[in-house]
Structure 1
Amino acid sequence: MQRRTLLAQALGVGGFAITGKAAAQAITLNGASQFNDEHAFTRCLVRFEELVRQYYGEPINFVLHKNSSLGLEKQYFEYMSQGRALDYGIVSPAHMSTFSRAAPFIDAPFLFRDLAHWNRVMDQDLLKPIGDEVEKRARVMLVGYAGGGIRNIFANRPLTNLAELRGVKVRVQGAPIWSRTFAAAGMSPTVIAYNEIYNAIQNGVIEAGENEAAGVEQMRFFEVAPHLAQTQHAVTVRPICFSAGSFARLPPKLQAAIRRAGPEAAAYGRQIESGEDSQKIDALAAAGRLKKVEFSDRQALMDKVAPVLGAYAREIEAEGILGRITGVAG
């Protein structure tokens, strides 16, 4: 991690750079993805770059650091908040909790009834109040909302109902809502860094994790936890983030291009991730790498967790957001 920090610092305070001479100057923007070229997040960011370049119409360079070469999403958000090393990236809302207690709530487990409900919430821009708070407190703009992956539990044994979830040691994200909801479901949640999950399962520290199909495939979790319990407990929200410090130093025409490109690139990201989600799972199952396990108690699981979700919303003063999301028809 020290190597990554030094590398990030080496990119220069302020994130972006000016290259060339006089009228030929071109701005360079640095982005980051934890994943490779094929992952939905990386493809979404490439689309963002293409759209910014199209709408700006002036010389501009993009450098996208892939495969966690600049660390993990938590570091990305810190860099963007500090206005150094990194200008844009996709970050899980769980990593924004230091600045906004409500931010992780937009990606909370058991919040969305299904993918259709999630899509309607995205279309109505109901997450804007949280985006405004993050920008004010963290100085990171949420210029679009990608995601759309359906998260399930992968485990080293089959989990088919609520009774079989009881006591299972499962890795969860760092935001408190994840630990609380999984504990309410009867599991034993623990926070472990994303890049340590594989070894933790292999070594018996935990028995399960939870992720969308792209992550299961990319990180090869199926090798140590081949049973995928189809709890469908969450639909991901993955904001395209942009450093407000970097943004403020850009010319107005480029600022306008970024604001225009963000929602369009995010919509593209949602389309490819949600569209490929089931295909990836089916392909892994067909290859004998993953065993799909029907989970019979999904509604009972949702009902069990609902009071915890409501109590947490009251605690972080997000009752209005929860009400608007749950009130979306369908």
Structure 2
Amino acid sequence: MYRRSLLGAALAAPALLAIPVRAQGTITLNGASQFGDDHPYTKALVRFEELVKQYYGKPVNFVLHKNSSLGLEKQYFEYMAQGRAVDYAIVSPAHMSTFSKAAPFVDAPFLFRDTAHWNAVLDQDMFKPVADEVEKRARVAMIGYGGGGVRNIFFNKRVTNLAGLKGLKVRVQGAPIWSRTFSAIGMSPTVIAYNEIYNAIQNNVIDGGENEAAGVEQMRFYEVAPQLSMTQHAITIRPLCVSTQVLGRLPNDLQAAIRRAGREASAFHRTAEAGADSQILETLEKGGRLHRVEFTERAEMKRLVDPVMAAYAREIDAEGILNRINALTA
């Protein structure tokens, strides 16, 4: 049923399906980004292209479709799972939940203590069982882990503590763990498309949303919700993904170049995004477009979320991963 619905959606967009993997004997790979040239995701994908060309050493074309011209990340992942239209992209793990219940666990709220802990988890490849499951069921390989943005909640009013959060409608990602954790904190989580957040806040459908600094800047969320509560509730992990159906049709040396480039481009992404976070917020604040609001009860927020995370880990058979993450000293 699901495959049929995906095929129906794809057939409704014949232009997407017409994009070839090979054109006139030269291999062409199509990528997609929701964002423009200045966003870390797009920069990482450009770096990926450069590295593949360097390591492959033979002609290969890359076409990167930017600014959501091929839809949003959820669609990119579905296209990669079909082996058509999008060959590579950076995708939030929340959009992989149809194929793997454990995928959204990769960057769930309050999973990491700080950036050092986050880096240590990635360096030890603790999410390999999740990546293996995604590759088996969705036929999409995670060839590198980017991200590094610290997520906070933006509102159209100042919120400094848990009492202020009570009952507020906040947009969250579609994976169940996000709704469950935000509900445990006392908020009213609402799932809407990423590109609808701005208008939803403007029209008082929701009170705010949560995002890392690069997203707040790129999507201009500060125009409708300039009060940024520094909840620091998550550090992003954004896998660089490749369709294994496409990968399997490529020469072995190109496959090797893609996998090597994926790891290195994702390391570049992590450094770029983590480094840009505070700089972006500082620039926005100095320009009077955004105000950082100290959130005084982060520890209490985490205490409310911990039982939800533990129950979720049991539900998706990820208790072992969670225990290893919690035990890791960084």
TM-score by length of 1: 0.95
Matched, 1:9 2:46: no
Q: 1:18 aligns with which of 22, 36, 45?
A: 22
2: CA distance, partners of 1:248 / 1:16: 15
- Letter in structure 2 aligned against 1:250: L
Distance 1:304 1:27 in 2: 51
Summarize the Cα distance change of 1:285–1:6 in structure 2 as closer, same or farther, 3 Å threshold.
Answer: farther
Deviation of the 1:5 alpha carbon: 5.8
- 8 A Cα contact 2:10 2:16, kept in partner: no
Partner Cα separation in structure 2 for residue 217 and residue 314 of structure 1: 36
Residue in structure 2 matched with residue 34 of structure 1 by the alignment: 34
Structure 2 CA distance, aligned partners of 1:53 and 1:325?
36
**Cα deviation, residue 180, structure 1:** 0.2
Distance 1:9 1:43 in 2: 28
> 1:26 deviation in Å?
1.5
Amino acid at match of 1:9: P
Q: Distance in 1 between matches of 2:20 and 2:257?
A: 16
Given the superposition, is the C-alpha separation of residues 16 and 51 from structure 1 closer, same or farther in structure 2, using an over 3 Å criterion?
Answer: farther
Does the Cα contact within 8 Å between 2:81 and 2:138 map onto a contact in 1? yes
Quick one: which amino acid aligns to residue 23 of structure 2?
T
Alignment of 1:185-264 (within 5 A): 185-264=185-264
Partner amino acid, structure 1, of 2:246: S
1:19 CA drift (Å):
2.6
List alignment gaps of at least 5 residues for structure 2: 1-8
Following TM superposition, by how much is the alpha carbon of 1:325 offset from its aligned partner in structure 2, in angstroms? 1.3
Counterpart CA distance in 2 for 1:8 and 1:279 is 39
TM-score, normalising length: structure 2: 0.95
* CA–CA distance in structure 2, aligned partners of residues 287 and 326 of structure 1: 39
Equivalent pairs counted in the alignment come to 322
Counterpart of 1:76 in structure 2 is 76
- The equivalent residue for 2:294 is 294
Describe the superposition over 1:168-226 as per-residue Cα deviations: whole angstroms up to 9, x where unpaired: 11000000000000000010101010000000000001001000000000000000000
Q: CA deviation at 1:16?
A: 4.4
Letter in 1 for 2:235: V
AA matched with 1:206: I
> How far apart are residue 7 of structure 1 and its match?
9.0
Residue in structure 2 matched with residue 134 of structure 1 by the alignment: 134
The whole-number CA distance in structure 1 between the counterparts of 2:254 and 2:129 is: 24
1:144–1:264 contact (8 Å) kept in structure 2 = yes
Could you say which residue in structure 2 is the equivalent of 1:155? 155
Partner residue in 1 for 2:3 = none
- Specify the alignment match of 2:144 in structure 1: 144
Q: Is the 8 A contact 2:10 2:17 kept in 1?
A: no
SS at match of 2:36: coil
Question: What SS does the corresponding residue of 2:174 show, helix, strand or coil?
Answer: coil
CA distance in 1, matches of 2:182, 2:142: 27
Go from structure 1 to structure 2 and tell me whether the alpha carbon gap of 1:158 and 1:219 turns closer, same or farther (over 3 Å shift). Answer: same
- Measured after TM superposition, the shift of residue 12 of structure 1 is 3.6
Q: What residue in structure 2 maps to residue 100 of structure 1?
A: 100
Identical positions, percent: 68
Kept in 2: contact 1:159–1:295 (CA 8 A):
yes
Deviations 1:259-302 (A, max 9, x none): 11111100000000000001000100000000100001111111
Give 1:259's aligned amino acid: R
| Separation of aligned partners in 2, 1:286 and 1:274 | 20
1:1-22 Cα offsets, whole Å, 9 max, x none, are xxx9679632446x642233xx
